[in-house]
Amino acid sequence: MADCARKGRTRDSMDKSITLPPDEIFRNLENAKRFAIDIGGSLTKLAYYSTVQHKVAKVRSFDHTAKETEGDPLYEISVQEEITARLHFIKFENTYIETCLDFIKDHLVNTETKVIKATGGGAYKFKELIEKKLRLKVDKEDEMTCLIKGCNFVLRNIPHEAFVYAKHADSEFRFQNTHPDIFPYLLINIGSGVSIVKVESEDKFERIGGSSIGGGTFWGLGALLTKTKRFDELLQLASRGQHSSVDMLVKDIYGGAYSSLGLTGDLIASSFGKSATTDKEFSKEDMAKSLLHMISNDIGQLACLYARLHNLSRVYFGGFFIRGHPVTMHTITYSINFFTKGEVQALFLRHEGYLGAIGAFLKGAEEDSPVGPCFRSPCPCAALAYVVMF
């Protein structure tokens, strides 16, 4: 897959809303208020559609043979109105599910809305609450199907969605171009827990593994260790910490590298390994950093093992644990490179946490499409489907 390096372009500045492909069918929904919700173990994610009208300056230049005379320029600027379809995203901690439902009621539900597309465990757990509060019927969609549908969609349609993270390179983010040929790939979704999914085609995928040591573990253990319950604060602490004061490194055991095994002295031999024997207080920063390393390394190694086992060379990471955080992405990338000697590529996604919500949104759009959903499997119009569905 071709890629392009973009200097000075940060991942965070770009993960807001998606501009949907401009297609005939979008006009059918110009004024519709369409949305879907993905309620996981920690966070509630909302994807909603709107059209944005804006002015664009169009420049028309004249034939270069034309002669410029005073007051008669060689180009003409006109301002035109353009309507763009956009998909917006917002997330709430599950504790604030009622606030999320208020947002939906105040901004997204109109008199024509009869159902709400919902995925994730919360579509079951909060069904009654949602139906009572919004006076809508909950239309549940399978979590894995939505996750993969959302992932395939962004990989195919959203420019610069996937990127390689290279901490020490000239450009930290190497964005990939969209490509119709995306299969096979491995998706590691790091939410509260971890799901490992092998994706072979549009509708052929299998959850081949998982782990309970994921984002919920970082959040939970981090809160216990640092008394900080806010996830963003935990990440900030981790950014300032030094893991080597908490972790036992190879050099703490060998006095240097274990060269014959190719293990450098700075490699972590035992996460948190120094804490039992060192007689001092550890800073919140150092503990948060060590924890972030421990979990990211563990997932990196799992990713590499599953990729090898299934002969896959591309691994995408989704889920809100990553949050585009440099330490997390570097640790995962380092771990995969280390164990596979560069044979497996780690790729991150700008809309990492919203894949399920995007998939559920697409499901709803498919069903409302004037052409109706395609029930043939494999869908012969898959490429067209995503465009036609809106």
Site residues (vs ligand ADP, CB under 6 A): 40-43, 93, 120, 191-192, 215-216, 218-219, 231-232, 319-321, 323, 353
Measured from the CB atom, is 250 or 349 closer to ligand ADP? 349
- Contact in structure between 275 and 246 (CB atoms under 8 Å): yes
Handedness of CA 139, 142, 148, 151 (dihedral sign): positive
Q: How far is the CB of 277 from ligand ADP (least distance, A)?
A: 29
Query: Position 201: which residue type?
Result: S
For the CB of residue 223, give the shortest distance to ligand ADP in the complex, in Å.
Answer: 10
Instruction: State the minimum distance, in angstroms, from the CB of residue 4 to ligand ADP.
Output: 27
User: Counting beta carbons within 10 angstroms of the beta carbon of residue 370, is it exposed (0 to 12), middle (13 to 18) or buried (19 or more)?
Assistant: exposed
How many angstroms separate the CA atoms of 323 and 350, rounded?
Answer: 9
Q: Which is nearer to ligand ADP, 26 or 214 (CB)?
A: 214
| Minimum distance, C-beta of residue 321 to ligand ADP, in the bound complex (Å) | 4
Which one, 42 or 152, has the nearer CB to ligand ADP? 42
The smaller minimum CB distance to ligand ADP, of residues 174 and 323, is found at 323
Work out how close the CB of 153 gets to ligand ADP at its nearest, in angstroms, rounded to a whole number. Answer: 17
Q: Of the two residues 92 and 390, which places its CB atom closer to ligand ADP in the complex?
A: 92
C-alpha of 67 from chain center: 53
Q: Which is nearer to ligand ADP, 143 or 174 (CB)?
A: 143
Amino acid at 63: D
Query: What minimum distance in Å lies between the beta carbon of 330 and ligand ADP?
Result: 17
Task: Report the C-alpha gap between 267 and 329 in whole angstroms.
Answer: 17
Report which residue type is found at 90: I
Nearer to ligand ADP by Cβ, of 30 and 232: the residue is 232
For 220-344, where are the E strands, in sequence order?
Answer: 248-249, 268-270, 314-318
First vs last Cα of the chain: how many Å apart? Answer: 27
- CA–CA gap between residue 31 and residue 51 (Å, rounded): 7
Residue nearest to ligand ADP (CB): 40
* Residues in CB range of 72: below 8 A, 6 or more apart: none
Strand partners, 54: 82
What's the closest the beta carbon of residue 41 comes to ligand ADP, in angstroms?
A: 4
